[in-house]
A and B are shown apart, each in its own frame.
Chain A
Amino acid sequence: MKFVNEAGWDRIARVVLGAVLLYMGWSGAVGGTLGTVFQYLGFVPLATGLVGWCPLYAMFRFRTNETAPVS
């Protein structure tokens, strides 16, 4: 679990955001190009939230979980 760089609240927020984007995209609540973008863009926060690792955070050496667990 050493790779995890997101706090619990961060992960939950990403999962919720991903679910909302996917719902808007796949249900047709948002149509057109934006709807298609949401259909696939929703997977990004969802996946990063589920895994607990954000590649952008890693790139900028940033983390929201203050206490990294000992491996």
Chain B
Amino acid sequence: MAPVELLWITALNCSACHAMRPHVVALAARHPDVRVTELDALDAGVADLRIYATPTLIGRVAGDEAFRVTGRRTDDELDGLVRALIERGEPSVLGRGDALIRLGGGGAVVAVGLAAGPAWPLVVFGAIILSYGAFTMWRTI
């Protein structure tokens, strides 16, 4: 599973942040696989995140931002966001199916190209699809 993390950006004078803190702590306890990091809006490095309001919750999968929400959220909303984030971090079955279809299709086109002549344009086209399928499969592993 790709690393999943939540960045929670707060501010000292933000009452909504204080009200939300116990809920985020409980959320982190319910989802131990998700790394939750609290950052103060004044912390160095937060400027790169382009935060316009607090509290802001940013979900990341393998370092890529998956969602960003601002404002106080209910427990159900937070759970829904984290569940979606965890699903994104899981290896994609669809991606593997995609790779299999490309591998099969590429192989079929190469076989057809060899059987029909050989018809070299088909063989080359099939080989390109096959390579792309192999690349997609390698990425999903």
Q: A residues within 8 Å of B by Cβ? A: 1, 4, 8, 11-12, 15-16, 18-19, 22-23, 26-28, 46, 49-50, 52, 69-70
Add 13 more A-B contacts to A1-B92, A12-B101, A19-B111 (CB < 8 A). Answer: A1-B98, A18-B105, A22-B113, A22-B116, A23-B112, A23-B115, A26-B117, A27-B117, A28-B116, A46-B109, A49-B105, A50-B102, A50-B129
Residue pair A27, B116 in contact (C-beta under 8 Å): yes
Contact A8 to B108, CB < 8 A, known contacts A22-B122, A26-B113, A27-B115: no
Residues on B lying within 8 angstroms of A by beta carbon are 84, 87-88, 92, 94-95, 97-98, 101-102, 104-105, 108-109, 111-113, 115-117, 119, 122, 129
| Nearest CB in chain A: distance from B67 CB, A | 11
- Chain B at the A interface: SS class: helix
Chain B nearest CB from A20 CB (Å) reads 8
Please name the residue on chain A nearest to B111 by beta carbon: A19
Q: Known A27-B116, A70-B84; judge A19-B97 contact (CB<8 A).
A: no
A-B contact pairs, 26 of them (CB 8 A): A1-B92, A1-B94, A1-B95, A11-B101, A12-B101, A12-B104, A15-B101, A15-B108, A18-B105, A19-B112, A22-B109, A22-B113, A22-B116, A23-B112, A23-B116, A26-B112, A26-B117, A26-B119, A26-B122, A27-B112, A27-B115, A27-B119, A46-B109, A50-B105, A52-B101, A70-B84
